[in-house]
Amino acid sequence: MKIAVVGTGYVGLVTGVCLSEIGHHVTCVDIDEQKVEKMRQGISPIFEPGLEELMKNNIDRGLLTFTTNHKEAFSDAHAAYIAVGTPQREDGQADLRFIEQVAVDIAANLTNDIVVVTKSTVPVGTNERVKRILLKNLAGDYKVDVVSNPEFLREGSAVNDTFKGDRIVIGAENPEAADLIEAVNKPFGIPVFKTDIRSAEMIKYASNAFLATKISFINEIANLCEKLEANVEDVAAGMGMDDRIGNKFLNAGIGYGGSCFPKDTSALVQIASYVQHDFNLLKSVIEVNKVQQHMLIQKAKTRFGSLEGRRVALLGLAFKPNTDDMREAASIVLAQELVKEGAEVVAYDPISIENAKKLLPAQTVYVNSPEEALLAADFAFIVTEWKEVKALTPEDFKERMKLPIIFDGRNCYNLNEMEKHNIEYYSVGRKPVNVNGIKKD
Ligand SMILES: NC(=O)C1=CN([C@@H]2O[C@H](COP(=O)(O)OP(=O)(O)OC[C@H]3O[C@@H](n4cnc5c(N)ncnc54)[C@H](O)[C@@H]3O)[C@@H](O)[C@H]2O)C=CC1
Ligand SMILES: O=C(O)[C@H]1O[C@H](OP(=O)(O)OP(=O)(O)OC[C@H]2O[C@@H](n3ccc(=O)[nH]c3=O)[C@H](O)[C@@H]2O)[C@H](O)[C@@H](O)[C@@H]1O
């Protein structure tokens, strides 16, 4: 089938590339000319494992093209996927400007009947609004159907998630439109769940809100474990053995970041408020997450008193490993707080430094290896569990830091190892080790 994908961010580009990989003729359209030029040359504008290879392969097979021209993309297309951003507005609501603009772009450039598929995460009722905009701006007497097909991929494993997802949700009014999108996805071999449009829109928000709740819940348990001298990793493992609970998404840490959980939880609280529903549970999830992001700073302040003049190694900047995405990363909050407290921040990330420079305080110093960041540091903050960070050995810390003092927001290291090697080590929901003073060996 011939498919247009509008927006080539994390979702649009991965969707376009994967749909071409299963044999569809895909044209991706974006308003960002520089991005389109890069993609035409087979260069991915985002870091996503496995993506660039598939991209090049399908450009060569003649199945994948990129354009800034909407008409070119929609002409003869059976389906047009909307995958533009729905960022958070200041009041917490989802900003639907880009979605509305794309609906106008599609309608005004149509040359045939089409099914418009919304991949972007949009509040309940948005697809009805999209349909109204489409009908109002139609370029001719064409039939247009709207389908909600929310996306569940994770950054850092987006290609794998697209081929091995748990479900494909299709929300539609017209069963024929739903069948067409089911047929598009058939080669993926993933179970399809069909429902009405509003329920499909809600499935996306409910899923992200539930996952965020799981994380805030385990973080609260971790904070309790610290006070009650229990070990959160064992607690999570023991809980997770119950199939009803499941063992995934129970890693305690410095809170969730990224482009979606923070904005989608806020948006759902807003969506609820429009129908006079006070979503107290979700408000608490958000609040717990905010507090959790400051947890390393609190621990460092308790340890050192003032952070003024301290040299800090900030290890990992992206909101999670295997992505260069810095949106809502805890490292932003941490670097800002550290600089405000008068500390000197030396930051390392294997791939996010260019994106980080736009968001971290100007005083931040960037280095090319975790070892370099540790040089003469008073203490280290472990922010992202990159393999390069997890691979650091006790000697790496001891040889380079003034004193080996680590505040680990991702529980990267073994407690016994740290204890044995005389490293002062604070992690999340586990007992701190060597807190009664360490000496340089
Ligand atoms: N990032 C993620 O992992 C996931 C994101 N989502 C949702 O998918 C949507 C897209 O997210 P991302 O891919 O992260 O966004 P993004 O911000 O990375 O990319 C959006 C792209 O759309 C382009 N664009 C904007 N207006 C346009 C127009 N009128 N015509 C053509 N292109 C246009 C922009 O230039 C940009 O390249 C959001 O609603 C998000 O909540 C859903 C699941 C996962
Ligand atoms: O709507 C979206 O954009 C996507 O949001 C998340 O995907 P993503 O944000 O890419 O990454 P996750 O792996 O979910 O991690 C999100 C944050 O939670 C944190 N996290 C995750 C799991 C965990 O156990 N503990 C924890 O602190 C991560 O460190 C990260 O900061 C969801 O997992 C996807 O299903 C969804 O499609």
Using a 6 Å cutoff on CB, does residue 30 contact ligand 1?
yes
ipTM over 0.95: yes
Model's pTM, two decimal places? 0.96
Is 21 marked within a binding site? no
Tell me, in angstroms, the distance from the centre of ligand 2 to residue 253's CA. 12
Using a 6 Å cutoff on CB, does residue 221 contact ligand 2?
no
**CB-based contacts of 331: which residues, under 8 Å, 6+ apart?**
314, 316, 317, 318, 319, 347, 349, 356, 360, 383, 384
Distance separating alpha carbons of residues 231 and 429, to the nearest angstrom: 6
The alpha carbon of residue 45 and the mean position of all alpha carbons in its chain are separated, in whole angstroms, by 16
Phi-psi region of 93 (alpha: psi -120 to 50; beta: other; left: phi over 0): beta
Burial class (CB in 10 A: 0-12, 13-18, 19+), 373: buried
Describe the chain by its helix, strand, coil percentages, rounded to 5: 45, 15, 40
Tell me, in angstroms, the distance from the centre of ligand 1 to residue 84's CA. 3
Nearest CA to ligand 2 atom 9: 258
**DSSP line for 163-202:** HH-S-EEEEESSHHHHHHHHHHHGGG---EEEE-HHHHHH
Is 320 marked within a binding site? yes
CA 207 to ligand 2: nearest atom: 35
pLDDT at 302: 96
Pocket test of ligand 2: the residue of 154, 214, 333 to mutate, having most ligand atoms within 8 Å of its CB, is 154
Using a 6 Å cutoff on CB, does residue 22 contact ligand 1?
no
pLDDT at 436: 79
Ligand nearest to the CA of 96: 1
Tell me, in angstroms, the distance from the centre of ligand 1 to residue 109's CA. 20
Tell me, in angstroms, the distance from the centre of ligand 1 to residue 260's CA. 11
Say if CB 213 and CB 281 are below 8 A apart. yes
pLDDT at 75: 86
In the chain, the amino acid numbered 156 is G
Is 420 marked within a binding site? no
Number of H-type helices and E-type strands within the chain: 19, 14
**CB-based contacts of 391: which residues, under 8 Å, 6+ apart?**
none
Using a 6 Å cutoff on CB, does residue 120 contact ligand 2?
no
Tell me, in angstroms, the distance from the centre of ligand 2 to residue 215's CA. 9
pLDDT tens digits along 252-271: 999 999 999 999 999 999 99
Say if CB 108 and CB 73 are below 8 A apart. no
The structure tokens listed for 184 are: 């598009």
Say if CB 341 and CB 309 are below 8 A apart. no
Using a 6 Å cutoff on CB, does residue 151 contact ligand 2?
yes
pLDDT at 108: 94
SS3 387: helix
Tell me, in angstroms, the distance from the centre of ligand 2 to residue 220's CA. 18
Is 296 marked within a binding site? no
Say if CB 149 and CB 161 are below 8 A apart. no
Ligand nearest to the CA of 355: 1
Using a 6 Å cutoff on CB, does residue 259 contact ligand 1?
yes
Residues linked to residue 4 through DSSP beta bridges, in sequence order: 27, 80
Ligand nearest to the CA of 246: 2
pLDDT at 439: 56
Q: Which sequence positions are flagged as catalytic?
A: 260
Say if CB 430 and CB 401 are below 8 A apart. no
Say if CB 45 and CB 190 are below 8 A apart. no
**Which single residue is written with the structure tokens 């399809």?**
192
Pocket test of ligand 1: the residue of 117, 151, 160, 162 to mutate, having most ligand atoms within 8 Å of its CB, is 151
pLDDT at 440: 53
Residues linked to residue 80 through DSSP beta bridges, in sequence order: 4, 116
**Mind listing the domains of the chain with CATH numbers?**
2-195 (3.40.50.720), 196-440 (3.40.50.720)
The structure tokens listed for 292 are: 């959790």
CA 156 to ligand 2: nearest atom: 10
Instruction: Write out residues in the chain with pLDDT < 50, as ranges.
Output: none
pLDDT at 438: 60
For 297, phi then psi, to 5°, come to -60, -45
